[in-house]
Amino acid sequence: MIPAAFEYYRPKDMTGVIALLDEHGDDARVMAGGHSLIPMMKLRMADIPHLIDLQDVSGLSEIDVSDSEICLGAMVTQSDIINNESLSSSAPILREAALQIADPQVRYMGTVGGNVANGDPGNDMPGLMQCLDASFVLVGPDGERRVPAREFYEAAYMTAREDDEVLTAVIIPKPSGGYAYEKQKRKIGDYATAAAAVQITKDGGSCTSASVAMTNLSDTPVFSEAACAALVGTAVDETAIKAAVDAMLGDIDPSEDNRGPVAFKKHVAGVILTRAIERAWSRA
Ligand code: FAD
């Protein structure tokens, strides 16, 4: 399929990007790796008269790991995440999740900024960032603001980002304890039927903190506070895990599609979360 005609821009800095967004309003859209946007344009599900490529904007591809937090520039690719050793030792769940996204070709192009800004419930990084309690840095004509990932998603493809704002970075508090990203998909390269991100800490055999987020089981990623509460203070035994799964099932709202009916998706969500909790706990 061939997309509708569009003007292509390649500004060198964020001032140029914001000026173009300001000039063209709703008719303009930024492009990062293009691996979600270009297919939408080719299928004519998105008509973008003015396409602003972020590839040449400086300062968006850095990975910074400090004692307390991690900063991922918006143009950091999934492949960059997989291959960065400092990142892999500081927050190994990022690598574990990135390796389960699509295939190497997509991962060379797909960016963290595009993945979290897109608002597609099937994207893996929004739930992952909710689990890690990340914040998104947004830059617009009125300056910069930060929005917690847990407050960013409003509905499918609807987020707290304004049309004239660009997501420039993702800030992640350095995680501790055990982790797991577990994903069930129909085949390599597919989006999740269900995925779970879990971070957990342990002290003397008891769970001291837990973070649980689910992917592709609602219009938005689901951070399940109830599932976290069901684990904290327990020995994360069979009873606690079942309570966490039951709590998570009360928070998700899957719909039937080509990945299966609602009952099947809920069943898979339960299996996936059980595995993720068990693996995270074994690593804590
Ligand atoms: P783009 O396609 O360039 O942009 C996506 C959207 O985000 C656009 O609306 C764009 O305007 C907006 N945007 C991009 N960057 C910014 C920014 N910095 N600020 C504001 N808005 C921005 N993803 C998964 O998570 N899991 C999968 O299993 C998976 N499987 C895939 C399989 C295939 C075959 C393909 C083609 C893609 C798959 N993807 C999957 C999507 C892939 O990870 C994309 O790379 C990702 O969703 C979007 O990143 P991008 O950099 O390509 O963004």
Please give the CATH superfamily to which domain 178-283 belongs.
Answer: CO dehydrogenase flavoprotein, C-terminal domain (3.30.390.50)
Which segments of the chain belong to CATH 3.30.465.10? 63-173
Tokens 């997509």 belong to residue: 106
In order along the chain (284 residues), what is the average pLDDT of each group of 10 residues? 93 96 94 96 94 97 97 98 97 98 96 97 98 98 97 98 96 98 94 98 97 98 98 98 98 97 98 98 98
Q: What is the pLDDT of residue 188?
A: 87
Strand partners, 182: 196
Q: What is the pLDDT of residue 83?
A: 98
What separation in Å is there between the alpha carbon of 109 and the centre of ligand 1? Answer: 9
Q: Is the CB of 166 under 6 A from ligand 1?
A: yes
Q: What is the pLDDT of residue 1?
A: 78
Q: Is the CB of 269 under 6 A from ligand 1?
A: no
pLDDT digit string, tens, across residues 171-186 = 999 999 999 999 999 9
Q: Which residues contact 143 (CB under 8 A, 6 or more apart)?
A: none
- CATH code of domain 63-173: 3.30.465.10
Which segments of the chain belong to CATH 3.30.390.50? 178-283
Tokens 């973070």 belong to residue: 211
What separation in Å is there between the alpha carbon of 29 and the centre of ligand 1? Answer: 13
What separation in Å is there between the alpha carbon of 266 and the centre of ligand 1? Answer: 26
What separation in Å is there between the alpha carbon of 254 and the centre of ligand 1? Answer: 22
What separation in Å is there between the alpha carbon of 244 and the centre of ligand 1? Answer: 31
DSSP notation for the chain: --PPP-EEE--SSHHHHHHHHHHHGGGEEEESS-TTHHHHHHTTS---SEEEE-TT-TTSS-EEE-SSEEEEETT-BHHHHHH-HHHHHH-HHHHHHHTTSS-HHHHHH-BHHHHHHS--TT-SHHHHHHHTT-EEEEEETTEEEEEEHHHHEEETTEES--TT-EEEEEEEEPP-SEEEEEEEESSTTPPEEEEEEEEEEEETTEEEEEEEEEESSSSS-EE-HHHHHHHTTS---HHHHHHHHHHHHHH-----BTTB-HHHHHHHHHHHHHHHHHHHHHH-
Q: Are 82 and 98 in contact (CB under 8 A)?
A: yes
Nearest protein Cα to ligand 1, atom 13: 114
CATH match of 7-53 with 3.40.1640.10: no
Q: What is the pLDDT of residue 189?
A: 87
pTM above 0.85, yes or no: yes
Nearest protein Cα to ligand 1, atom 25: 123
Which segments of the chain belong to CATH 3.30.43.10? 7-53
